[in-house]
Amino acid sequence: MEAIQKVKITYGKYGLIRFIGHLDTMDTIFTAARRAGLPLCYTEGFNPRIKASFSPPLSLGFSSDVEFMELFLNETVAVDKLKGSLQKELPEGMIIKSVEEIAVKSKSLNNAIEAAGYRFSFEGFNVDKGLLNERKKKLLEASSVLSMDISGDSGCDFVIGMGGGKKMSSREIARNLLDIDEDEVKKIEFTRKKFFFKL
Amino acid sequence: MNEKKLTNILSMVEKPGRYLGIEINSVHKEWEKTDVKILLSYPDLYELGMSNQGLEILYNIVNERNDSLAERVYAPGLDLEKILRREKVPLFSLESKHPIEDFDIIGFTLQYELSFTNILNILDIGNIPVHVSDRDEKHPLIIAGGPCSCNPEPMADFIDLFVVGDGEEAIVNIIETYRRSRSIGRDKLLMKLAGIDGVYVPSLYSARYNANGAIRDIKPVTKDIPDAVSKATVDISKNNYQAKPLVPLINTVHNRLTLEIQRGCSNNCAFCQARTYYYPLRLKDKKELIDAAEKGLKNTGFDEISLSSLSSVDYPHIEWLVSELIQKYRDKRISVSLSSLRPDRFSLELVNRIRQTRKTGLTFALESGSVRLRGVLNKSIDEDRMLSAISDACKEGWKLIKLYFMIGLPTEQDEDVQTIVDVVNKIKRINNRLNLNITISHFVPKPHTPFQWVGQENIGSLKKKAGFLSRNLRGKVKVHNVESSLLEAVFARGDRRLGRVIEEAWRQGCRFDQWREHFRFDLWKKAFSAQNISMEFYAARIRDAGEILPWEHIDCGISKATFLKEYRKINGSNTEG
């Protein structure tokens, strides 16, 4: 079945639902889309899958303001109506922020992402601004961290580039910045705040 | 539990998705305003337990009532257990995260013997004494049901009350009796509950033993208690509790819509306990099944319907049902699957019809390669018809066939084991490129079957046979763990003296015994010898026909006399008594 509409659905992930991983998130949205009765498109072959693409995997346990999926439809649906009917079927904590129509033939937005911004809070940690600034400098020199803002007292905002530099996960960055161990970093709640797209 | 504490715990475990309790169609009722609080538990990992339909039926029945609520708990993974014990956090329910000790009733499903230690563990992490005798008014009532309750004796020390047979009406009767009598004291309450159809209260019975170790008698300790408990049986055509199945948010064993199409079985395979436990055969109305499929799909968004029963191809309207479902849902890319097949043309045609999308393997349980042994098992398979069906399947593009065999069957000789190799060779000869996955399991004599008197073959001999098959079968061969099969045989036909062993093994660290990677036979052996109890006595010993069996007072609908007649037919003159 030919797709005649493509929509970009941007959603947030908050609360307990952040504890399901990327593949499970996809399946959860797919079953929700089927319950909502959306006119879905399927891939050909023995194992038909719903035609869609998703923003890059979010680590297990992370919240997000900016996850998105691009969904192909075989009938035209008003975006407001789609938003309402899909939201009703999503589990607690998955919140649709926006639904926009995009060109059916457009390339997946995924390929255009060059960086992602994250935030975590310093709550529960003793922070020494001087030490933090030193470690921040090292991180910026030695890894794929493109920028970092620790000017506020409450937490750290940072941006990780998709290419170049030593790959470091958000958790490793927090460990290095706060000088804490693996178990302590697990208790930190990270939030993906933003995607940066190539123009 | 406060949210911070909960998220801290979830952050530290490998699979937090197991413990969220926010699945689609999960029910969250007001705790304070609900009179009877029931916790339902499948005592194994979430991924396994979520596929159990029985628990889900009870979950819906309880939650539809205004006076009660049902929540769930599964066995916590070892990582979560470690954290809970370290931080002294009692095990909590999935939905409201209440400590499990706060519930009025906790119900476990007993699906297989090797989950017994998990039940003790769940109680213990939940701060609840494992022994019936150590619990009082402030503790929940611990109940259990499911197939293993047809011989509940090994768990008699730990379970206040068993429900034998179908739970749909029993749970309602338990709730109503509980509401009326919750304040009259635990002992009196149990007496009242013992009057419910299918309910067995083990503490109201006592067992005495002969010098040779066999049971002398099992009798009620007071009057007003029946000598034997008959299992509960419901009319399944009436109720339809499948309309709002739970949709897990993580991948589980089966994320699909399961429709029970019949309960019971029209076959009488002699090794099969389910045949008795779910007896008699009862059918669901075919039109109601179509309706249940429609509602179920709408409420879940699943893309697969599984038609489930002990022998789905024997459902009288199976062809009609399959055609209707396929026609109705083809455009929505929803597939249909059948839970059990016979190796014949009829099954193959059914599968060909539903297979339009997925081409996974065909599965046949042949049990034995020998015509004579299949006769002993009362499971006749026409080999020529089977081979021609497989030959057709090859031509139609099937590339994988899964075969199930058992070894250690009653009266089995070395020639019989050789016949497994012969029949596999015949199948392989049809088309050499056909992939065969062969699973070999060990025969376990079960209560309430014609084989309840026979001895299980010893480990050494079973290992030899399995070794022979692994060397000679042309296909991918998987052999069950023989020590697990031995323990299964011990507990399947055990009596209440085995409670000591279960407790000992659990204290030594046994849990998740069903999982190869967690199974510790060395610890089990130690537990048996520490309690001075012999495994052979329970697993390998041939019982006299006159011996009082530990499940003698549990009536599952097919009489001992019937089994004895079948047993004698099988064994000819070998049988005493």
> Residues B353-383: pLDDT tens digits?
876 555 568 889 999 999 999 999 999 899 9
Q: What is the pLDDT of residue B217?
A: 96
Q: What is the mean pLDDT of residues B5-27?
A: 97
Residue boundaries of the structural domains of chain A: 5-106, 112-197
Contact A24 B358 (CB under 8 A): no
Measure the CA–CA gap between B567 and B83, rounded to whole angstroms: 51
Measure the CA–CA gap between A175 and A184, rounded to whole angstroms: 8
- Percent of chain B with pLDDT strictly greater than 90: 87
Q: What is the mean pLDDT of residues B459-486?
A: 97
**Cβ(B257)–Cβ(A99) under 8 Å?**
no
Measure the CA–CA gap between B348 and B394, rounded to whole angstroms: 11
Contact A46 B357 (CB under 8 A): yes
Return the residue of A nearest to B95 by Cα.
A16
Q: Which helix (H) or strand (E) holds B170?
A: helix B168-181
Contact B255 A48 (CB under 8 A): no
Q: How many residue contacts between A and B have a Cβ separation below 8 Å?
A: 72
Return the residue of B nearest to A46 by Cα.
B357
Instruction: Considering only residues B542 and B570, tell me which one the structure prediction assigns the higher pLDDT.
Output: B542
Q: What is the pLDDT of residue B288?
A: 92
Per-residue confidence band for A164, with pLDDT thresholds at 50, 70 and 90: low
Instruction: Considering only residues B389 and B128, tell me which one the structure prediction assigns the higher pLDDT.
Output: B128
Q: Residues with Cβ < 8 Å from B266, sequence gap 6 or more?
A: B281, B311, B314
Q: What is the pLDDT of residue A97?
A: 98
**Cβ(B44)–Cβ(B514) under 8 Å?**
yes
Q: What is the mean pLDDT of residues B393-397?
A: 85
Q: What is the mean pLDDT of residues B254-282?
A: 95
Which of B515, B406, B418, B513 is CA-nearest to residue B462?
B406
Q: Which helix (H) or strand (E) holds B258?
A: strand B257-260
Q: What is the mean pLDDT of residues B256-266?
A: 95
Measure the CA–CA gap between A120 and B15, rounded to whole angstroms: 22
Q: What is the pLDDT of residue B283?
A: 95
Q: What is the pLDDT of residue B574?
A: 45
Instruction: Indicate the range of B218-227, B351-360, B473-482 predicted with least confidence.
Output: B351-360
AA letter at B422: D
Angle between helices B482-492 and B521-530 (to 10 degrees): 40
AA letter at A125: F
Structure tokens at B341: 């097949």
Chain B contact present for A27, CB below 8 A:
yes
Contact A34 B299 (CB under 8 A): no
B22 chain-A contacts, CB cut-off 8 A = 16-17, 91-93
Cross-strand pairs, A94: A13
Structure tokens at A17: 């639902």
Per-residue confidence band for B577, with pLDDT thresholds at 50, 70 and 90: very low
Q: What is the pLDDT of residue B352?
A: 81
A74 chain-B contacts, CB cut-off 8 A = none
- Percent of chain A with pLDDT strictly greater than 90: 82
- Percent of chain B with pLDDT strictly greater than 70: 97
Q: What is the mean pLDDT of residues B554-573?
A: 89
Measure the CA–CA gap between B142 and B162, rounded to whole angstroms: 9
Which of A31, A92, A93 has the CB atom closest to B300's CB atom?
Answer: A31
Which of B509, B560, B498, B567 is CA-nearest to residue B531?
B498
Q: Where are the alpha helices (DSSP H) in B366-498?
A: 371-376, 383-395, 414-430, 459-472, 482-492
Q: Which CATH number fits domain A112-197: 2.40.50, 3.30.56, 3.30.70, 3.30.460?
A: 3.30.70
Structure tokens at A161: 């580039």
Measure the CA–CA gap between B159 and B176, rounded to whole angstroms: 20
Q: What is the DSSP string of B311-363?
A: TGGGSTTHHHHHHHHHHHHGGGT-EEEES---SSHHHHHHHHHHTTS----EE
**Best to test chain B binding among A13, A17, A20, A63 (most B CBs inside 10 Å):** A20
AA letter at B297: L
**Cβ(B67)–Cβ(B87) under 8 Å?**
no
Contact B22 A93 (CB under 8 A): yes
**Best to test chain A binding among B12, B14, B20 (most A CBs inside 10 Å):** B20
Which of B326-335, B378-387, B534-543 has the largest mean confidence?
B534-543
Longest dimension (CA), chain B: 71
Which of A43-47, A80-84, B50-54, B327-331 has the largest mean confidence?
A80-84
Q: What is the pLDDT of residue B439?
A: 97
Is the pLDDT score of B418 beyond 70? Answer: yes
Q: What is the pLDDT of residue B205?
A: 98
Q: What is the mean pLDDT of residues B285-304?
A: 95
Is the pLDDT score of B575 beyond 60? Answer: no
**Cβ(B367)–Cβ(B408) under 8 Å?**
no
Is the pLDDT score of A47 beyond 90? Answer: no
Structure tokens at B574: 């070998």
Q: What is the mean pLDDT of residues A177-184?
A: 93
AA letter at B369: G
Q: What is the mean pLDDT of residues B199-208?
A: 98
By CB atoms closer than 10 A (0-12, 13-18, 19+), residue B138 is exposed
The DSSP 8-state label assigned to residue B92 in this structure reads: B
Which of A20, A92, A93 has the CB atom closest to B17's CB atom?
Answer: A20
How far A20 CA sits from the closest chain B CA (Å)?
A: 5
Chain B contact present for A1, CB below 8 A:
no
Instruction: Indicate the range of A102-111, A160-169, B221-230, B559-568 predicted with least confidence.
Output: A160-169
Q: Residues with Cβ < 8 Å from B517, sequence gap 6 or more?
A: none
Q: What is the mean pLDDT of residues B484-512?
A: 98
Which of A32, A46, A92 has the CB atom closest to B358's CB atom?
Answer: A46
Which of A23, A37, A29 is CA-nearest to residue A10?
A29
Residue boundaries of the structural domains of chain B: 3-230, 238-340
Chain B contact present for A97, CB below 8 A:
no
The DSSP 8-state label assigned to residue B378 in this structure reads: T
Is the pLDDT score of B224 beyond 60? Answer: yes
Contact A42 B23 (CB under 8 A): no
Q: What is the mean pLDDT of residues B435-458?
A: 97
Distance between first and last Cα of chain B:
60
Is the pLDDT score of A24 beyond 60? Answer: yes
Contact A19 B16 (CB under 8 A): yes
**Cβ(A39)–Cβ(A1) under 8 Å?**
no
pLDDT per position as a tens digit, B65-87: 999 999 999 999 999 999 999 99
Q: What is the mean pLDDT of residues B334-360?
A: 78
How far B18 CA sits from the closest chain A CA (Å)?
A: 9
Angle between helices B168-181 and B53-63 (to 10 degrees): 40
Measure the CA–CA gap between B363 and B403, rounded to whole angstroms: 6
Structure tokens at B123: 């109680």
How far B17 CA sits from the closest chain A CA (Å)?
A: 5
pLDDT per position as a tens digit, A55-78: 999 999 999 999 999 999 999 999
Q: What is the pLDDT of residue B356?
A: 56
Cross-strand pairs, B308: B260
Is the pLDDT score of A151 beyond 90? Answer: no
**Best to test chain B binding among A17, A18, A19 (most B CBs inside 10 Å):** A19
Q: What is the mean pLDDT of residues A151-155?
A: 85
Q: What is the mean pLDDT of residues B456-467?
A: 98
Mean pLDDT computed over every residue of chain B: 94
Which of B277, B278, B353, B341 is CA-nearest to residue B315?
B341
Domain A5-106 matches domain A112-197 at the CATH topology level: yes
What backbone torsions phi and psi does residue B44 show, to the nearest 5 degrees? -155, -175
Q: A5-106 architecture in CATH? A: 2-Layer Sandwich (3.30)
Q: What is the CATH number of domain B238-340?
A: 3.30.750.210
Q: What is the CATH number of domain B3-230?
A: 3.40.50.280
By CB atoms closer than 10 A (0-12, 13-18, 19+), residue B371 is middle
Contact B251 A32 (CB under 8 A): no
Q: What is the pLDDT of residue B573?
A: 42
Parallel, antiparallel, or unpaired: how do β-strands B36-42 and B68-74 relate? parallel
Structure tokens at B501: 């062993």
Is the pLDDT score of B569 beyond 80? Answer: yes
Q: What is the pLDDT of residue A167?
A: 81
Q: What is the mean pLDDT of residues A129-154?
A: 90
